[in-house]
């Protein structure tokens, strides 16, 4: 989508970054079956690589009582310890 930034800082750098959803792995929560963005272990290489892949939204202005909702999913059974962090900048862009 316009305004989003993808930054893969994984070490060592792998063969993929963020990618269009793959409905052969699982379908999207809503919309078209591949209507999601994905990232996986291929963001780095080797068993000891560190995944550090950022998906940065454009700046949003939230009003009083506003909420941010999202869905997170991993294939079953999980093969890796998936972790996700959501961060908020209150300093603007």
Summarize pLDDT for 14-69 with one digit per residue, the tens: 999 999 999 998 899 999 999 999 998 899 997 789 999 999 998 888 889 988 88
Cis peptide, bond prior to residue 12, ω within 30 of zero: yes
Q: Comparing 19 with 83, which gets the higher pLDDT?
A: 19
What pLDDT is recorded for position 32? 97
In DSSP notation, 16-78 reads --SEE--TTT---SSSSTT-SEE--GGGB-STT-B--EEEEPPP----TT----------SS-
């Amino acid at each position: 989508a316009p305004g989003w930034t993808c930054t893969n800082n994984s070490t060592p750098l792998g063969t993929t970054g963020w990618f269009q959803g793959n409905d052969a792995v699982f379908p999207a929560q809503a919309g078209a079956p591949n209507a999601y963005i994905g990232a996986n272990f291929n963001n780095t290489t080797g068993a000891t690589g560190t995944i550090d892949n950022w998906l940065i939204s454009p700046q949003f202005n939230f009003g009083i009582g506003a909420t941010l909702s999202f869905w997170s999913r991993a294939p079953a059974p999980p093969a890796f310890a998936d972790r996700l962090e959501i961060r908020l900048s209150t300093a603007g862009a």
